[in-house]
Amino acid sequence: MSKEVNPDLVKERKACTFNVTELVHIIDGGEQATKERKEVEEMVLQIKDIRDKVPEEYLSHKERYENAVRKTVLMVEVLKEHALRHSSFDAYKPSNMYRIQSGIVKDISPFMLHMGMFVPTIFGQASPEQMSEWLPKALSLQIVGTYAQTELGHGTFLRGLETTATYDPKTEEFIINSPTITSYKWWPGGLAQTANHCIVVAQLYSKGQCYGVHPFFVQIRDLETHVPLPGVKVGEIGPKLGFQTANNGFLGFQNFRIPRNCMLMKNSQVLKDGTYVKSKSDKLTYGTMVLIRVMIVADAAYEIGRAATIAVRYSAVRHQSKPKPDQPEPQIIDYVTQQHKLFIAIATSHAFRITGTWLWDTYSKVVADLGQGKLDQLPELHAIACCLKAVCSRDASACVEQCRLACGGHGFMLSSNLPIIYGLVTATVTYEGEYTVMMLQTARYLVKAWKQAVDGTALTPTVAYLLNYLNNSGRKWDNTPEGIIAGFQAVAAGKIKEAYEAIQRHQKEGHDYEDSWNLASVQLVNASDAHCRAILCEVFFTEVQKLSSTISAPLALVLQQLAELYLTYWTLEKGGDLLVHSSITKNDLVWQRQRYEQLLAVIRPNAVGLVDSFDVRDEILNSTLGAYDGRVYERLFEEAMKSPLNQEPVNSSFHKYIKPFIEKSKL
């Protein structure tokens, strides 16, 4: 970090009204968590040769992958013992402790799915005997794994997967096959050249009967030579919009045999004679997928925070135009349009972080209940996780892109790191549950909840507002956060009602239920979106209110301002829906617009302090525009000079192509 800090940033930091360190601790989950995160960061940054000698963008596709593996192995070697000490179930609670790894790789680690899905699936779906055999090897990285579910022809529709695992009672083995080109596994990170094991999700056949998709623990490469085993065809799928170092792969099988006990048997089993023992509930396998969706919400919060840090610091340093001819060019952060673009990103990062923690707590409680055989809360958790994963990933993509655009042309530079961050977040809209499919899964739960509400049945907490709507006993609109939340609940209830009635109308016209569902699907997605927005608004505001009584008054005020900004922003975005479904008036919307502008003004002095509180160090931010010292123009020039094209005064293409062309043109 440079000792010289841009004077504009010095001025901004002096203007901050709250204790930045206090907010850093809150974001990290406590002072001890901050201490541990910083220790991890220092451990990694002390590794010899961990820094790149040549910028990533100038390496070939193959070189970038190999460099990512090199750096990841160096980090894992240093962090392995630390990680093992934090390898319990609680280790998956959203945390920024190991974010340094993605910062050093500068993209996605080829090992990401090892700890991200391979290990959690063993935790969640292996029997105690299987766990005792596989988990120590996986946690110590004696084996490297990934999770192979998605296929070339099927993604979110699990029942459509074509990979087969057919049980042979004579040898007590499963025979795995990829019967069609569309049955090849496609997309798993680390699968191509990195992993030697994977969890393979396949259709289970035994005694001539199909029992649906089940997970299998499969070794795909020789542990000594790393050569693919006979009957395994594996490779890389090629460049993508982002995730260039993730090593996403394809995988096919031809009569590949694995032992019977390689089927994960915590919930379902196949006995030696081929008898299938069914799980107590099909829903027990939701656990791993819900966990991943919890993590995606937390990741969205973090990446928005990174993007906001870059854009806000740049906006404090950048001066542009002369609205008043007799005064200097203002910082672009003083333009209200710039504040409108950026402050919602700061608020959204906090909203998603807080909601992600709330979702984790809900998930942990349901997992504990599952251990006691209680399954009644699982459908609600699944519905919440689906819509939050969908909406948070989509909003994150929009927020990061808005931050990039707010940086003008410089935001288009790879060295800003905003294009790379965008590539990371936009992928989350699709993977581990495509946006529309997730929203329609939540909609199925909402339609059932509406039927229960009409019948007067007690409802689970996140949909209890439906009863208030039906009884006309909900809170009426007023221009307070509580009134806004009630307004969003009224919008959600109204849209759920309309979607439900649309299905009924289509059925009366002679369509069967699924066709009626499809015809009403746009309304159903909109209903899920409204339901999710109501949850985000309520959880963010309620949790900030709880937190406010335990922290300093200046910080409590700033967080309350951010929560109110989030609610007011979305009130203005969804004004039409609120006018249709709630008791808001046109005058209320005028008041909300004025309040929104007031909030931008009061948050403005704390903007740089707020992004400093994300505490993303320069080695993780990887941005010429967003470094702590604000040396934007110097860093842009320094990075430009690293281009291979600047290493010689005349490029060979001049003599090879341009000069002959010019000479011909003279004739």
Enzyme catalytic residues: 432
Contact 53, 640 (CB under 8 A): no
Q: SS3 for 588?
A: helix
Cα-based angle 256, 217, 236 (whole degrees, multiple of 5) = 70
Residues making up the chain, counted from first to last: 667
Interatomic CA distance for residues 100 and 106, integer angstroms:
10
Q: For 248-377, where are the alpha helices, taking DSSP H only?
A: 286-317, 336-371
Question: How many alpha carbons lie under 13 Å from residue 648 in its C-beta half-sphere?
Answer: 7
Question: d(Cα 333, Cα 288) in Å, to the nearest integer?
Answer: 42
Q: Which residues of 537-573 are buried (b: 16+ CB within 10 A; e: fewer)?
A: bbbbbbbbeebbeebeeebbebbbbbbbbbbbbbbee
CA distances from 312 to 190, 332, 414, 461, 578 (A): 34, 10, 18, 37, 31
- Find the helix or strand (DSSP H, E) in which 525 lies: helix 521-548
- Cα atoms in the Cβ-side hemisphere of radius 13 Å centred on 578: 28
> Residue 283 has which token pair?
């829903």
Task: Residue 584: count other Cβ atoms within 10 Å of its Cβ.
Answer: 26
Give buried/exposed letters for 341-373 (b at 16+ CB in 10 A, else e).
Answer: bbbbbbbbbbbbbbbbbbbbebbeebbeebeee
